[in-house]
């Protein structure tokens, strides 16, 4: 009963890395063919931890350029930064009055990000998932392409939608479904196969950034942690070798093959042969994106126009949905 609509978001905190690209962005690009797609640079989420104003601005332009360079078509997809569409923050407040403390207390991402010094975390970091629910439901989006780490937030979004529906109207909001890639759902750090590749990791050698030069990509892969065993002929045999498994997963995602297929090609061989081929695949994928991104970044005025146009289009969808939300809650909305 709801028209299919895709929404997803990415934070402008530093440059995009291979995890963002293989876990989410590549999927975003493919979905444009069959769906109405709305993609958001979530700057309101970024400020849940302190940001330097100038770096935030630069990162917002870089992420926008990177998304366009990766294949987001701004005439079809709606691309904008969150803070230019006030309906996100307003709906988030309404959801703060629907979500329960108990639900938010379960969020593992908050626990990880707040760390030991929880008393010092911002209220925004704690309430982050209600804003994420608002991002999605402000458009009544039905599908949300994300990496595996966002699954729990998506479940909370469904809980909020269900609670709102039972309070104010059976089918007010859809229950959005995550779309998670099979092979690249969670790309791991190049230095530790048990922790996720992430922008916040201190060492740059834990990740491949989409603006890394070719030599740097080769160096990072050369230095990536592995072991001295040869590669096996099936993925199950890599269960206890997370670093090896991660590299095979990256190769599989880049070449659109299953991990078992990749292993059938490389089994018996060591990383001396595998790593240079992996680096070559990465360079083939990333170099054109990096070059295009740098071109796009030369014209900030055009990027401003693109983001504003996206915000106007996004707002025209979110406005009536929010107005209806306020109506069913019982707010008086005077019309002039």
Q: Annotated active-site positions, please?
A: 113, 196, 199
Q: What is the dihedral of CA 145, 173, 329, 126, to 10 degrees?
A: -30
Residue with smaller CB distance to ligand TYM, 187 or 248: 187
Nearest CA among 165, 168, 88 for reference residue 130: 88
Q: Report the residue from 65, 67, 79, 144 that binds ligand TYM according to the rule CB under 6 A.
A: 144
CB of 180 to ligand TYM, least distance (A): 8
User: Which residues have a Cβ under 8 Å from the Cβ of 322 and sit 6 or more positions away?
Assistant: 87, 90, 91, 138
Asked if 161 touches ligand TYM (CB under 6 A), the answer is no
Kindly state the number of chain residues that form the binding site for ligand TYM, as judged by CB under 6 A: 26
From the CB of residue 282, how many other CB atoms can be counted at a distance below 10 Å?
21
Q: Report the residue from 90, 149, 214, 265 that binds ligand TYM according to the rule CB under 6 A.
A: 149
Using the rule CB under 6 A, give the single segment among 98-106, 149-157, 159-167, 242-250 that binds ligand TYM: 149-157
Q: Using the 8-state DSSP alphabet, how is residue 181 labeled?
A: -
Using the rule CB under 6 A, give the single segment among 2-10, 213-221, 223-231, 286-294 that binds ligand TYM: 2-10
Q: What mask of x and - would describe binding to ligand TYM in positions 172 to 211, judged by CB under 6 A?
A: ------------x-xx--------xxx-------------
Within positions 38 to 67, which residues make up the interface with ligand TYM, using CB under 6 A?
Answer: 42, 45
Q: Report the residue from 11, 70, 183, 209 that binds ligand TYM according to the rule CB under 6 A.
A: 11
Measure the CA–CA gap between 212 and 300, rounded to whole angstroms. 21
Q: Report the residue from 6, 10, 248, 279 that binds ligand TYM according to the rule CB under 6 A.
A: 10
CB of 165 to ligand TYM, least distance (A): 19
Please provide residue 105's backbone torsions phi and psi, each rounded to the nearest 5 degrees.
-60, -20
Asked if 249 touches ligand TYM (CB under 6 A), the answer is no
Q: Report the residue from 70, 78, 125, 147 that binds ligand TYM according to the rule CB under 6 A.
A: 147
Asked if 125 touches ligand TYM (CB under 6 A), the answer is no
Measure the CA–CA gap between 285 and 248, rounded to whole angstroms. 16
Q: Using the 8-state DSSP alphabet, how is residue 153 labeled?
A: H
Asked if 306 touches ligand TYM (CB under 6 A), the answer is no
User: Which residues have a Cβ under 8 Å from the Cβ of 14 and sit 6 or more positions away?
Assistant: 59, 199
Q: CB of 70 within 8 A of CB of 289?
A: yes
Q: Report the residue from 5, 19, 80, 259 that binds ligand TYM according to the rule CB under 6 A.
A: 19
Q: CB of 155 within 8 A of CB of 129?
A: no
Residue with smaller CB distance to ligand TYM, 60 or 232: 60
Q: Using the 8-state DSSP alphabet, how is residue 335 labeled?
A: -
Q: CB of 35 within 8 A of CB of 271?
A: no
Measure the CA–CA gap between 319 and 308, rounded to whole angstroms. 16
Measure the CA–CA gap between 133 and 309, rounded to whole angstroms. 23
Using the rule CB under 6 A, give the single segment among 16-24, 116-124, 303-311, 315-323 that binds ligand TYM: 16-24
Asked if 282 touches ligand TYM (CB under 6 A), the answer is no
Within positions 213 to 232, which residues make up the interface with ligand TYM, using CB under 6 A?
Answer: none
Q: What is the dihedral of CA 70, 303, 144, 189, to 10 degrees?
A: 50
Residue with smaller CB distance to ligand TYM, 29 or 265: 29
71 phi-psi bin (left φ>0, alpha ψ -120 to 50, beta other): left
Residue with smaller CB distance to ligand TYM, 11 or 226: 11
Residues within the interface to ligand TYM (CB under 6 A): 7-11, 19-20, 23-24, 42, 45, 132, 135-136, 144, 146-147, 149-150, 153, 184, 186-187, 196-198
């Amino acid at each position: 009963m709801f028209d299919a609509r895709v929404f997803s978001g990415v934070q402008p905190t530093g440059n995009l890395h291979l995890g963002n690209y293989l876990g989410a962005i590549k999927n975003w690009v493919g979905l444009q063919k069959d769906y109405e797609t709305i993609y958001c640079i979530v700057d309101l989420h970024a400020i849940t931890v302190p940001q330097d104003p100038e770096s935030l601005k630069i990162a917002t332009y870089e992420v926008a350029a990177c998304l366009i360079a990766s294949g987001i078509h701004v005439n079809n997809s709606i691309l904008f930064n969150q803070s230019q569409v006030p309906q996100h923050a307003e709906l988030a407040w309404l959801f703060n009055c629907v979500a329960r403390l108990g639900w938010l207390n379960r969020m593992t991402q908050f626990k990880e990000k707040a760390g030991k010094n929880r008393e010092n975390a911002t209220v925004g970091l704690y309430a982050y998932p209600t804003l994420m629910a608002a991002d999605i439901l402000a458009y009544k989006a039905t599908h949300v392409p994300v990496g595996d780490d966002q699954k729990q937030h998506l479940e909370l979004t469904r809980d909020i939608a269900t609670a709102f529906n039972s309070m104010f109207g059976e089918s007010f909001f859809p229950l959005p479904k995550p779309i998670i890639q099979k092979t690249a759902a969670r790309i791991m750090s190049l230095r530790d196969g048990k922790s996720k590749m992430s922008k916040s990791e201190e060492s740059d050698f834990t990740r491949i950034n989409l603006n890394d030069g070719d030599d740097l990509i080769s160096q990072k892969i050369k230095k990536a942690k592995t072991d001295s065993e040869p590669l096996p002929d099936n993925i199950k045999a890599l269960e206890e070798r997370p670093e090896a498994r991660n590299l095979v997963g990256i190769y599989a995602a880049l070449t659109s093959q299953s991990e078992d297929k990749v292993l059938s090609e490389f089994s018996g061989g060591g990383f001396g042969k595998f790593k240079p081929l992996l680096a070559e695949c990465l360079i083939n994928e990333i170099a054109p994106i990096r070059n295009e991104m740098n071109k796009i970044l030369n014209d900030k005025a055009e990027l401003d126009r693109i983001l504003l146009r996206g915000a106007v289009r996004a707002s025209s969808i979110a406005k009536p949905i929010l107005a209806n939300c306020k109506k069913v809650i019982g707010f008086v909305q005077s019309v002039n």
